[in-house]
């Protein structure tokens, strides 16, 4: 998962490690040369190492590192700063070279251009004109600065779906949108399974009436999960199916209604209008865009169109287990300003995981913990 992006990021950090320190850092001014204009120069003792900002433990896990950041109220890049005149400041030219390579790496990995620029700016702000403790090598400094910038980009991902559902009125209505082939119907089944395990009753609404196969597929999931499905014949009015499902859930005191909609290409105006009609009739409490992680920037453009049409509230990314680039996972939430609630990493009902900054950071920079 994200192997391509991870390996390219490591190459950027390796370049920092290979650079000649004499060409990278500005020459430090020895403390004995710094004197007052009014006071004769006096011998100055060698600086005490403890005067520099002490290094944090080098072998913290990502979870421990993030917890320490939150506890300290600061970032690792800031923890590396030093006030000692004997410590080092990065020159502009090697920093520009590293940032150019980082920019190419992110663009090649399908990270959206505005997000790339935000990451680059974040890294530059963390590094330019700052003085760092000699205890750190350039590759360590750059890596931590990149982690900080990426984590800032991922800050929008703070949606706890499970907690949200518990607090909603009954029945809670959730509408799923997306184009054909993204795994939307399977994602709905995974959410239904998750809700059932939390003790909630579920009703499925088969509003994709344009394809008989879609109704059959959702019916198979309903039978396997032992949940109620409301469906009409092919070519029936999708909005009427949603209405009937909500009426059934209300009368039977069911907890959640999951509305499956026809996969729509974002350029199909007629189907987009039909989706708007479903939203108007159903009044969903949550509208989820289901996107294919492998689609990269295409998934981002699709999400924008759906967001403009009905107002997307959250995102589910599918096929994340086969995504080597990671561009969609890194960009989509920031681009449309809506959080990724879940990622799907397989075909089984339990192959769904909450997405947050910690989850993504572990997979970009470290091996996931068991």
In a domain? residue 211: yes
- Same domain for 289 and 190, yes or no, is yes
| Least confident piece of the model among 81-90, 194-203, 230-239 | 81-90
Verify that 199 and 253 share a domain, yes or no.
yes
Is there a domain that residue 57 lies in? no
Q: What is the CATH number of the domain that holds 25?
A: 1.20.120.140
Q: What are 287's strand-pairing partners?
A: 175
With 0-12 / 13-18 / 19 or more C-beta atoms within 10 angstroms meaning exposed / middle / buried, residue 253 is: exposed
User: Are 78 and 221 members of one domain?
Assistant: no
In terms of Cβ atoms closer than 10 Å to its own Cβ (0-12, 13-18, 19+), residue 77 is buried
Structural domain contains residue 364: no
Average pLDDT over residues 63-79: 51
How many angstroms separate the CA atoms of 316 and 303, rounded? 11
pLDDT exceeds 70 at position 142: yes
Please give the pLDDT value at position 246: 98
Taking only the tens place, the pLDDT of each residue in 297-347 is 888 888 998 999 899 999 999 988 777 678 888 888 888 889 999 999 888
In this structure, the answer to whether residues 271 and 345 fall within a common structural domain is: yes
Does 216 lie in the same domain as 172?
A: yes
Whether residue 39 lies inside any domain: the answer is no
Cα 343 to Cα 364: distance, rounded to the nearest angstrom = 15
Residue 164 has pLDDT above 90, yes or no: yes
| pLDDT of 263 strictly over 70 | yes
Domain boundary pick from 134, 156, 178: 156
- Same domain assignment for residues 142 and 179: no
- C-alpha to C-alpha distance for 188 and 286, rounded to whole angstroms: 13
pLDDT confidence tier of residue 351, bands split at 50, 70 and 90:
very high
3-state secondary structure of 131: strand
- Domain contains 50: no
If asked whether residues 150 and 184 sit together in one domain, one would say no
* pLDDT recorded at residue 78: 59
Q: Kindly state whether residues 145 and 212 are assigned to the same domain.
A: no
Tell me: do 168 and 73 sit in the same domain.
no
Of 291, 297, 284, the closest CA to residue 343 belongs to 291
In angstroms, rounded to a whole number, what is the distance separating the alpha carbons of residues 86 and 46? 10
CA angle 233, 239, 244 (to 5 degrees): 70
- Please name the helix (run of DSSP H) or strand (run of DSSP E) that holds residue 251, with its range, or none: helix 238-251
Both 119 and 237 in one domain: the answer is no
Percent of the chain with pLDDT over 70: 74
Listing DSSP states for 268-335 in one string gives: -HHHHHHHHHHHHHH--SEEEEEEEGGGTHHHHHHHHHHHHHH---EEEEE-GGG-SS-HHHHHHHHH
pLDDT at res. 52: 40
Q: Which residue has the higher pLDDT, 108 or 368?
A: 108
The token duo for 103 is 């920019």
Max mean pLDDT range (38-42, 248-252, 316-320): 248-252
**pLDDT, position 361:** 84
Residues 111 and 211 grouped into a single domain: no
Q: Cα–Cα distances in Å, from 256 out to 78, 132, 191, 227, 350?
A: 45, 53, 10, 11, 19
* 238-250: average pLDDT: 97
Map 68-99 to HEC letters: HHHHHCCCHHHHCECCCCCCEEECHHHHHHHH
Domain that holds residue 89: 3-30+62-156
**Residue where a domain stops, chosen among 111, 141, 156:** 156
Residue 190, in any domain of the structure: yes
Q: Which of 108, 127, 156 is the last residue of a domain?
A: 156
Higher pLDDT, 28 or 152: 152
Structural domain count of the chain = 2
Task: With respect to residue 43, please indicate whether it lies within any of the assigned structural domains.
Answer: no
Least confident span in 156-165, 215-224, 258-267, 347-356: 258-267
Q: What's the CATH number where 274 sits?
A: 3.40.50.300
CA distance 36 to 44: 13
Q: In this structure, are 146 and 171 located in the same domain?
A: no
Asked whether residue 36 is domain-assigned, the answer is: no
């Amino acid at each position: 998962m994200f192997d391509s992006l991870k390996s390219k990021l490591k190459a950027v950090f390796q370049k920092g490690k290979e650079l000649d320190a004499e060409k990278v850092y500005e020459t430090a001014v020895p403390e004995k040369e710094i004197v007052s204009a009014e006071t004769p120069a006096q011998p100055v003792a060698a600086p005490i190492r403890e005067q520099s900002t002490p290094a944090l433990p080098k072998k913290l896990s990502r979870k421990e590192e993030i917890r320490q950041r939150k506890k300290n109220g600061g970032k690792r890049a800031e923890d590396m700063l030093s006030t000692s005149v004997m410590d080092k400041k990065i020159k502009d030219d090697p920093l520009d070279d590293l940032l150019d390579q980082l920019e190419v790496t992110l663009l090649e990995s399908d990270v959206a251009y505005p997000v790339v620029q935000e990451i680059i700016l974040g890294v530059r702000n963390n590094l330019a004109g700052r003085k760092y403790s000699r205890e750190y090598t350039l590759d360590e400094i750059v890596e931590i600065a990149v982690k900080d910038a990426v984590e800032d980009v991922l800050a929008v991902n703070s949606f706890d779906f499970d907690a949200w559902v518990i607090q909603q009125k009954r029945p809670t209505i959730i509408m799923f949108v997306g184009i054909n082939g993204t795994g939307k119907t399977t994602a709905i089944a995974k959410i239904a399974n998750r809700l059932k395990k939390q003790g909630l009753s579920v009703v499925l609404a088969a509003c994709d009436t344009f394809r008989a196969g879609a109704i059959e597929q959702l019916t198979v999931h309903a039978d396997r999960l032992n949940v109620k499905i409301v469906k009409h014949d092919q070519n029936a009015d999708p909005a009427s199916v949603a209405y009937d499902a909500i009426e059934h859930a209300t009368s039977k005191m069911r907890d959640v209604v999951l509305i499956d909609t026809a996969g729509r290409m974002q350029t199909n105006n007629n189907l987009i209008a039909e989706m708007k009609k479903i939203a108007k009739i159903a009044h969903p409490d949550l509208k989820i865009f289901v996107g294919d992680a492998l689609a990269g920037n295409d998934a981002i453009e699709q999400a924008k169109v759906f967001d403009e049409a009905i107002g997307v509230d959250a995102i589910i990314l599918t096929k994340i287990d086969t995504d080597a680039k990671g561009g969609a996972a890194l960009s989509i939430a920031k681009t449309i300003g809506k959080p990724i609630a879940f990622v799907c990493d397989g075909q089984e009902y339990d192959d769904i995981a909450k997405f947050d900054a910690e989850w993504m950071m572990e997979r970009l920079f470290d091996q996931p913990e068991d």
